[in-house]
Amino acid sequence: MPDLMTTFSFVLEVDGVEMASFRKCSGVEAETETIEYKEATKDGKMIIRKVPGAMKWSDITLERRIDESKALWEWRQQVEDGVIDDARRNGSIVIKDSTHTEVARWSFDMGWPSKWTGAELDAGSNEIATEKLTITHEGLRRE
């Protein structure tokens, strides 16, 4: 019987190495642009044909609790330092169930951290300090 617990974890693997686990993940999306063109039938009736165009993928945004690890910050730092070719990496978003068994995997190509957002710090708040990482990439597939 499949694990129906709602305690899933989302893990980021980069070049086969698990970098971090996350509490939120969005942007795991693939879309094909639609090209429309008009065409006349044999009887002169005008119809609109729709054909697939270019593929495009959304940026992936991950959010996690801040801890002592600097791996995400250092990856982003490569982009800030202008070493974008070294920052481009293949990776995966992996969903694991409550027993830490892999349930699903989406792999991306040539990803790089286009944005890092630190915690909103408020001493009067009960919120957990989190960081967000946005990964821009050139392809996504379900494996």
Answer whether residue 4 shows pLDDT above 60: no
Stretch 107-130: mean pLDDT: 92
In a domain, 116, yes or no: yes
Q: Do 72 and 113 touch, CB atoms closer than 8 A?
A: yes
Distances from the Cα of 39 to the Cαs of 44, 90, 138, in angstroms? 9, 42, 33
The two tokens of residue 134 are 């946005």
Four-residue CA torsion sign, 70, 73, 78, 82: negative
User: Based on the structure, what is the number of domains in the chain?
Assistant: 1
Which position has the higher pLDDT, 75 or 99? Answer: 75
Sign of the dihedral defined by the CA atoms of residues 98, 76, 60, 92, in that order: negative
| Cα-Cα end-to-end distance for the chain | 22
Q: Report the CATH number at residue 14.
A: 2.30.110.20
On whether residue 92 sits in a domain, the answer given is yes
